[in-house]
A = this chain, B = another copy of it.
Amino acid sequence: MSIIERKKREKEEMRRTILDAAKEIFLEKGFRSASIRNIAEKIEYSPGTIYLYFDDKDAIFHALHEDGFQRMLAMMQPLQHVADPMERLVAMGRVYMEFAYNNKELYDLMFIMEAPILAEANRARWEMGDRTLNFLKQVLIECQDKGHFSGMNIDYLSYTIWSALHGMCALYCRNRCQAYEHVKDTDLLKNGMDYFVSIILKA
């Protein structure tokens, strides 16, 4: 009940208010429109105030990218109950792509934009990436226990699989699927995924 405690809570509330405003503008009107001034206006504070709660704009979007990972991991959670690791691996892949498709801007922020990486405390690391990747690695280890991917290095294997999915999502996010003039994005994503799964299952 101490004042210092309330202050701390208020500080956190204000951070959350800023983040919510930033997220809303970002998701609605894109990164460009999510300027400090626009965020400040939305929460009815002056631009300078934002800097009392975040180091810079990158820090705001680093926090938002963390939210994204939390949301993504929440979608993965139910899959922990899938017994067969290969089945779980495939299910995770589909959820991953589903997330990218249904949260295009957020996926872009998490895996493509530079802002969140520039705001990493330790500039040579990527905390959220590391933690999320461990989920994939764990599943792959279980797959190996069942005789799949035998003899393969987990780092390289996970990178190969992650890249295949990210590639499809990234081409989608950055409008490179337009290279296929007469194929719908959704068809590319869906069938690309199916093809990769069937390829992986044969390996």
Contacts and interface: CB of A to CB of B under 8 A. Distances in A.
Interface residues on A, range: 35 or more
Given A126-B179, A181-B125, A153 B202 contact: no
Interface in A171-203: 171, 174-181, 183, 187-188, 191-192, 194-196, 198-200, 202-203
Number of copies: 2
A126 B178 contact: yes
A120 B165 CA distance: 26
A13 to B, nearest CB: 31
Contacts of A202: 202-203
Contacts of A156: 187-188, 191-192, 194-195
Contact of A164 (B113, B155, B196): B196
A78 to B, nearest CB: 23
19 contacts: A112-B174, A117-B174, A117-B178, A126-B176, A126-B178, A129-B179, A152-B195, A153-B191, A156-B188, A159-B188, A160-B192, A163-B164, A163-B170, A163-B196, A164-B196, A166-B176, A167-B170, A199-B199, A199-B200
Interface of A: 111-114, 117, 120, 124-126, 129-130, 132-133, 152-153, 155-157, 159-160, 162-168, 170-171, 174-181, 183, 187-188, 191-192, 194-196, 198-200, 202-203
